[in-house]
Every structure is written in structure tokens, then in C-alpha cells.
A and B are shown apart, each in its own frame.
Chain A
Amino acid sequence: MAILIDEGTRVLVQGITGSEGAFHTRHMLAYGTRVVAGVTPGKGGQSLDGVPVYDSVRDALAEHEIDASILFVPAPFACDAMLEAAEAGIPLLVCITEGIPLHDMLRCYHLLKGYGVRLIGPNCPGLISPGKAKLGIMPGEVFKAGPVGIISRSGTLTYEIASHLTKAGIGQSTVVGIGGDPIIGSSFTELLPLYEEDPETELVVLVGEIGGAAEEEAADWVAEHMEKPVVAYIAGFSAPPGKRMGHAGAIISGSEGTAEAKANRLEARGIPVARTPAQVAQLVKEQLA
């Protein structure tokens, strides 16, 4: 088991012929992910390392069974591509694209919800169930299979934390990068229930950062609903208010969204908060012991 994806997941790549799409499709294939088809409008009939390319999602679905789609579609067209996949009936979308207009995403999120689709991202590294499947752009060798789930708003910081766990001999069930934008498809509270139910996951690590209140909401949800232990890390204690720290969503507005407020709420709810990425592995070890 794992959550959302495993070795059986059949994957579509939208934007497969672009440089990013092609590069990461090869890496996903090398990792063992079952990439069954790709879509780029106008490029139907081509193939990429043996993966057939179609003009539309419907064309791809006429020939293949597909469980999830990963999108490397440029920002101006990303919502269109997500809706095309949703309308065709693909239940899980992973949108890597960065820079999608906020107002596009506000509409798109609610339209996708109407289709009953689960979206991971946008502006995210994707997700990986180590040893089983990778729908994303993360370096696979950093991860190893095991009992720890990770949900994170950031990319490289997740690799950093996962590598500490892996070096300590602690593997991961599924690692989800939920994205650094203000409007994302799945937040902490929407994924925690899946980990709570996953028999393979024994503990969940939350990697948060400044901006918004998703960490605070997660802290409350964990305290009220979760049996499994949770460990957290928050980035951005030294970030000034009003400045966008890289991610569109990483900004302290007024006094809202500070790292301190998040850490305080998590700790008040009994969730230990690591002070350094390395310390996450120590806390996980203690909790699992």
C-alpha cells in the first residue's frame, strides 16, 4: 500500500513533448512508473521512448486505461489541460506547472471539484511512492520505501528532509509535494485522512512554510482526528512580512502566516516541530521507537 499511486498506477503525461515533459517522462520511466501515453495537441502519432503521443486526452483514453495524469503544460494553457483531463474522467491530476494565473486557478479549482477530481499542485514537485511509482520531478534515489508519509509545500526542502530519513534508515510510504501556490488542489488536511487510513504509513511528516493558515488547520485536524503520530517542520522564521519568498504562496500578510504562529499552533496541539531539517529524522526516530 501507499497513498494515491503505486506500481499499478497507469499514467498519462500531458505536455509530454516539451523539454520538461520529455526529460521527466524518461526519468519516470527509468524509475519504473507505468507511463502508458502522452498528450500534446498537434503532436498525435509521435512517440517518446516508446510512449505513444496523442492529440487529446480522449484519444489517449480510447486506446489506454489511465488512472492519473501528470501535467507539464505551460502556465497559460495549464487550466485548459487540467479540465480536459477531468472532463475525460481521469480521477487524479498532478500539475507541475509554475506560474498559473491566480484568477485562472480560482475558477479551475472549483470546476475540477465539480468533476470530482483530485488535484495535486500546481507549482509542485509531484509525488512518489518509493520503489513503486514516481509522478514528479524529484530525484528518485533520495527516497526509499518505508513507513513515513511526507506532505510538503516545497520541493528541494522535501528532498533534504527525505534524505536525512533515508540516511537514518527510515523509508517513506508516499511523499507528496502539494505545491507553493496560494490556491492548490490538495492541502494538508485533505491528504492526512489518506495517510491515517493507509496501513503502510506509521507516521506523517508535515513540511510547511510561511503564508496562509494550512499548517494551523492541519494541527487542529490532527489533534481531533488522527491516531498516527505527526512531526512537523516549518520554514521561514526569518522571513520579513510582506515579501514573497520565492513561492507565490510564501508571504506573510500583515501578521498572518508567520512561521512562529504555525509552530506554536502545532506544538499546542501536541505535534513536535523540528528546528532543523536534520532534526526531523531524530524526532521521527523517537516517535517510531
Chain B
Amino acid sequence: MRLLEWQGREIFEREGIPVPAGELVRSPGEARAAAQRLGGAVVLKAQVPVGGRGKAGGIRRAGSPSQAEEIARQLLGARLKGVPVEALLVVRAVEVRSEHYLGITVDRGCRMPVFIYSHSGGVEVEEVARTRPEAVVKVPVPPLEGLFAFRLRRLFSPAPAPLRRELFRIARQLFSVFEKYECSLVEINPLAGTEDGLVALDAKVIIDDDHRPGDQFAGLSEASQDHLEAEAREAGLSFVRLDGEVGIIGNGAGLVMATLDLVAQAGGRPANFLDIGGGARAERVRKAVELVARTGAAKVLFVNVFGGITRCDEVAQGIVEATAGLGLPVVVRLTGTNQRQGRRILAQAGLVPVDTMEEGAAQAVALAKGGT
């Protein structure tokens, strides 16, 4: 669950991490009033869950309330990297003296949270790591040990001495956010040095989708811009919208990813990723077909199921019921548990399954391109 900047910022504030004065607005008029209250010179930031907002024109400075109103008019309702901008964060402009990067993520290799610090913040930390690896320090925190000071001393060894005290405090506060909100990633970039000390000028917070229940999560939700993805999640389906024309349904994340790859290799472009999971019944298959149809982009549907716990007859039943009157050509590959019964159900509905996923991918791509 990726939070929007303003949500992450609220969490930071609650934990005591300094952030610049600011307000969330949803109209040009509100932007003007907010700028007025904040002292005139402000920065307007589009609240969309995508990286590289600055380069895409989603972060703009305004010298006056009227300019803030004008910029808000341009940004609100516009699309940033394809995502509609519905709200802006208006923050007081601050004079930045230095920019740092501070983040915590999970290292899968050592299975520990790992702090990442760079005194060259404000840009992509990965870019810094690639070009100047010595400018990025990583320090893992063993989960059974807790956060000892010596690890922070190691983390901040390249930091300017006068800032260390503050960095220690903010690192502890950020670690507390990471633990309390069960994050897979928290990131402050940039953590800016100003005349009032260090201030978090951005807040990136990703909460583990499988987090434990807790009051701290009340009111927080995925900043996903896509209503179909949200609906799929409710239905227990793993769905990701893509920008191609071959609709894809399969069982098992790895198998679906492999299916996407085969479609791409055959010269097509997948319209989506959709995993119906293990043991899907006809009803779940029907819902899956409906979601793909509603993308509006799929010109063909390719169903690839390897039955194990999932029974081919159940899948076939779901396909037949859902695709009747769908208006989309359907390619089916169905193998494994109860495959004979499944194929019979398909045959009765006039659907002929292909034998391999390679064959299915080729046929689906040909159909999407208007061939036969």
C-alpha cells in the first residue's frame, strides 16, 4: 500500500519528524487561500503515487497567492504520467542549504531492515549509488537487536558533524514509523538542511499489504489510481492494468508473468496481469473475465490455466458462462486436474483449446492483430 505524500507527511508529523508548514487543497481557490496563510511564496505538489513528479512538472513554485491559484488551475484535473491530479499539497517555500537522502527498506538477502543514507539527496538515490557508490551508506538493523546508536554512528559517518545530532533523532523517528506502520519502505528525499534545521521535504511511505490489524491503519488506503485494480483486490484477484491489447488470465503469479512474456515475444502487448490464484471456482473465473473485458483495451482474451488444486472443469465452466456474448475472441489453454472434463465443457460451447502456452500466445497475438 503506497501512501500519497500528504498521508506520509501526516505520519511523519505524528512521530515528530519536522515537515514544512503546508495544507492539502483540492481547488485553485483553496490553493490561493492556503498560499496566503503560508506567507505567499509556496511550492505546489501534485498528489499522485508516481516517482519523478518534479521532472514531469508536478512540483511548481509560486511567488504569490495569485500565482499559486494559477498553477493550481493548471495542475488540478491534468494528468501526470497518466494519473489524474485530484489534490495538491501546498507548502511554505524554504531556503535549502543542503539535501540529504534517508530511507529504510528491507534487504531480502540478509532479511533485515536496512537504513540508507546519502549526503547527496534530492536526486534518485539509485543514480547516486551507481555513479558514486561511496556517497551512499547502508546499515542493516538486526530485527532481534533493535536500533543501537553505534549503527547510526556508522550510518552518518559521512554526514556534516553539526547535523549529526538531528540526523540521529530523525533516523530514530523514521525507524519508529517503519516499525509502527509495518512498512516495506520509508523514504525522505530530500531531507533538507534549512536555517531552521533539517526538514523532510518529501515523504514516501509504503505499508506492507499483509500488515497486522491495528488502529494506526484506520483511514489509510492504497493510493492506487485504478478502480479496476481496487475492485479486483476486493474480489481476491491479483490484477494489474497494462497498456496492450491481449487480455490475460492465468493461475499462479509466475505462470501469468510467463504468459505475459510469451505474448510479448510473439509480438503482442499484454492488456493486463490477472492471477486467479489457487483453487479458483467458476465464479472467480467469471469475475476475472469481466475485469479484463472492462479494461476496454483487450481485443482478445487468453486464458492459461495449469490445473493442480485448480480444477479445469470449474475453470471451463467459468469461461463458458463469462464469455458468452462477450464479443471478444477467446483462446484457452487448459491442462492438469480434470482436463478432459474441462475440454468437453469448452467443446460444447464451441471453444477449441490450444495444447501449449506458446501456441496460445501466438494465436492470441494473431487474433489481436486482426488475423485468424
Contacts and interface: CB of A to CB of B under 8 A. Distances in A.
A23 to B, nearest CB: 8
A214 B144 contact: no
Given A154-B255, A155-B308, A106 B212 contact: no
Interface stretch (B14-22, B68-76, B203-211): B203-211
Nearest to A76: B212
B7 interface: no
A38 interface: no
Contacts of B242: 238, 240
A142 to B, nearest CB: 8
A104 B108 contact: no
Contacts of A182: 106, 108, 184
B265 interface: yes
A236 B261 contact: yes
B283 interface: no
Given A139-B307, A246-B238, A212 B108 contact: yes
Given A160-B357, A210-B257, A244-B209, A139 B336 contact: yes
B253 A180 contact: yes
Interface string B308-325: 110000000000000000
Contact of A137 (B113, B261, B308): B308
Contact of A107 (B124, B144, B308): B144
A106 B261 contact: no
B338 to A, nearest CB: 11
Contact of B211 (A103, A180, A217): A103
A254 B209 CA distance: 19
B143 A106 contact: yes
A246 B275 contact: yes
B337 interface: yes
A278 interface: yes
A235 B254 contact: yes
A235 B240 CA distance: 16
Given A139-B307, A155-B278, A238-B264, A250 B111 contact: no
B184 A154 contact: no
A106 B358 CA distance: 39
A228 interface: no
Interface string A166-202: 0000000000000010110001000000000000000
Contacts of B306: 156, 159-160, 163
A154 B126 contact: no
Nearest to A27: B309
* Chain B interface, DSSP helix/strand/loop, else mixed: mixed
A22 interface: no
A139 B308 contact: yes
Interface in A207-250: 207, 209-210, 212-214, 217, 233, 235-240, 242-250
Nearest to B243: A240
A103 B144 contact: no
Interface stretch (A7-15, A39-47, A54-62, A94-102): A94-102
Interface in B67-126: 105-106, 108-109, 111-113, 124, 126
Contacts of A154: 252-255, 257
B258 interface: yes
A254 B252 contact: no
A237 B257 CA distance: 8
A183 B336 contact: no
Contacts, number: 173
Contact of B257 (A76, A107, A214, A250): A250
Nearest to A177: B254
A100 B261 CA distance: 29
Nearest to B124: A254
Contacts of A180: 253-254
Given A155-B278, A156-B252, A276 B262 contact: yes
B210 A248 contact: yes
Contacts of A255: 126
A159 B258 contact: no
Given A155-B278, A238-B264, A276 B358 contact: yes
A137 B309 CA distance: 8
Interface string B135-153: 0000000111000000000
Given A138-B308, A209-B254, A250-B253, A275 B265 contact: yes
A109 interface: yes
Contact of B210 (A75, A110, A159, A214): A75
Contacts of A253: 105, 185
A255 B52 CA distance: 13
B346 interface: no
Given A76-B212, A103-B211, A240-B242, A278 B257 contact: no
Interface of A: 75-76, 99-104, 106-107, 109-111, 114, 137-139, 142, 152-160, 163, 180, 182-183, 187, 207, 209-210, 212-214, 217, 233, 235-240, 242-250, 253-256, 259, 275-278
Given A102-B208, A182-B184, 16 more contacts: A107-B143, A110-B143, A153-B254, A154-B254, A157-B252, A160-B306, A183-B106, A209-B254, A233-B258, A242-B51, A243-B240, A245-B256, A246-B238, A246-B253, A249-B108, A253-B105
Q: Lowest 10 CB-CB distances: which A-B pairs, in order?
A: A154-B254, A246-B253, A156-B252, A157-B254, A235-B257, A102-B208, A156-B255, A139-B308, A246-B275, A246-B238
15 contacts: A76-B212, A103-B212, A104-B212, A107-B143, A107-B144, A155-B278, A156-B255, A159-B306, A235-B258, A237-B261, A238-B257, A238-B260, A245-B256, A246-B273, A256-B126
